[in-house]
Amino acid sequence: MKGSKVQDSVNWSRLRVAVVGGDEREREIAWLAAATGATVRAYGFPWPEDGIKGVERSESAKAALEDVQFALFPIPGMGVDGSLFATETILPDVDLLRVMASDSHIIMGTADEALKQAVETLGIGLHEYESDKELMLLRMPAIVEGVLQLAIDNTERTLHRSNVCVVGYGNIGAMLTRTLVLLGAKVTLAARKAEARADALNAGAEVIHTDELAAIAPHQDILFSTVPARIVVSSVLDKLPQHALVMDLSAPPGGVNLDYATKIGLRAIWARGLGKRAPVTVGASQWKGISERIAAILKSA
Q: Are residues 161 and 214 in the same domain?
A: yes
pLDDT, residue 271, reads 84
Boundaries of domain holding 154 = 140-270
User: Per the confidence metrics, is the pTM higher than 0.75?
Assistant: no
Q: Domain holding 25: CATH number?
A: 3.40.50.720
Contact between 60 and 15 under an 8 Å Cβ cutoff? The reply is no
Q: State the Cα angle at 250 between 43 and 174, rounded to 5°.
A: 120
Q: Are residues 152 and 80 in the same domain?
A: no
| Residues in contact with 164: Cβ distance below 8 Å, sequence separation at least 6, in sequence order | 180, 185, 186, 187, 188, 220, 221, 222, 223, 224
Residue 123's Cβ-count burial label (10 Å; 0-12, 13-18, 19+) is exposed
**Three-state SS string across 16-57, please?**
EEEEECCCHHHHHHHHHHHHCCCEEEEECCCCCCCCCCCEEE
Q: Are residues 117 and 217 in the same domain?
A: no
pLDDT, residue 138, reads 79
Q: Are residues 49 and 90 in the same domain?
A: yes
Q: Are residues 120 and 226 in the same domain?
A: no
Q: Are residues 145 and 53 in the same domain?
A: no
Q: Number of folded domains in the chain? A: 2
Residue 147's Cβ-count burial label (10 Å; 0-12, 13-18, 19+) is buried
Q: Are residues 189 and 208 in the same domain?
A: yes
Listed as ranges, residues in the chain with pLDDT below 70 are 1-8, 273, 275-277
pLDDT, residue 6, reads 56
Cα separation, 219 vs 165, in Å, equals: 10
